[in-house]
A and B are shown apart, each in its own frame.
Chain A
Amino acid sequence: DAGVIQSPRHEVTEMGQEVTLRCKPISGHNSLFWYRQTMMRGLELLIYFNNNVPIDDSGMPEDRFSAKMPNASFSTLKIQPSEPRDSAVYFCASRYGRDRPNTEAFFGQGTRLTVV
C-alpha cells in the first residue's frame, strides 16, 4: 500500500483565497483524522471521521474550516477564506479498527500551508 496520500505537499496562497487540502487514506481503514501542527499549539485534532461520518469536529477553529469525506477513499479539508494564522502543516491520518482496535494511526506526509 502507498500509505496515506496527501496533496498538495506545499501550498502558498493569498489571504482571502479558498484552499482545499486532499487526502486518500489507506485502503480498508475506517477512521480518518485531520490534524494541524503549529509551533504554538503542537499537534491538534481538527476533525475525524468513522466510516465516512464526521464524529467530532470540535477542533475545527471556526466556520471558515470545513471537511468532507464523500467516500471511504477520499477526504477534503477546505478553508474559505484563508487567513495568515491558518499557516501550518496539516496532516491527514487513517486508522484500521474493526477486529484489531489497538492499531496505530498512519500519517500522510502533510501539507505545508502558507497564507500570505
Chain B
Amino acid sequence: AQKVTQAQTEISVVEKEDVTLDCVYETRDTTYYLFWYKQPPSGELVFLIRRNSFDEQNEISGRYSWNFQKSTSSFNFTITASQVVDSAVYFCALSEAWDTGRRALTFGSGTRLQVQP
C-alpha cells in the first residue's frame, strides 16, 4: 500500500522568509509519480508540480523549488522569499505506475502555511 506523510501540520513564517514543506512517501512500486498541490483559502486544488520516480533532478520554478531524494523517499518543497499570497494548504501526493491500473492519487494530510506580513 502507498502512503504519504506530511508531518508538519502548520507552519507560520514572516514574509520574505524561506520555508520548506516536508513530504515522505511509501510505495512498493519502482515506478511512481509524485505531485504537489496548493489549496488556497478559496478551496480549489491547484496543481504545482509532478515528478517521475526515475527522474531525481531537482526543479526550480521562480520562488518554488523541489528536492526529490529517492534514497530517503522524500519530495520536499521550498518557497523562497515567501509572500502573503503563498498562504494556503499544500498537499503532497503519490500515484503508482499507470499500467498497474491504480491511477488514483494518494494524498498526505497537508501542511497549512501561514505567511504573516
Contacts and interface: CB of A to CB of B under 8 A. Distances in A.
Interface of A: 31, 33, 35, 42-43, 45, 48, 50, 55-56, 89, 91, 93, 95, 97, 101-107, 109-110, 112
A43 B109 CA distance: 7
A42 B107 contact: yes
Interface of B: 33, 35, 37, 43-45, 47, 50, 52, 91, 97-99, 101-110
A44 B33 CA distance: 18
B69 to A, nearest CB: 19
B103 A97 contact: yes
A105 B101 contact: no
A113 B102 CA distance: 28
Chain A interface main SS type: strand
B44 to A, nearest CB: 5
A110 B43 contact: yes
Contacts of A45: 104-106
Contacts of B47: 104-106
A97 B98 contact: yes
B52 A102 contact: yes
Nearest to A48: B104
A43 B97 contact: no
A101 to B, nearest CB: 3
Q: Which 5 A-B pairs have the closest CB atoms?
A: A101-B98, A107-B45, A43-B107, A104-B47, A42-B109
A91 B37 CA distance: 14
Contact of B91 (A31, A43, A50, A55): A43
Contacts of A104: 35, 47, 50
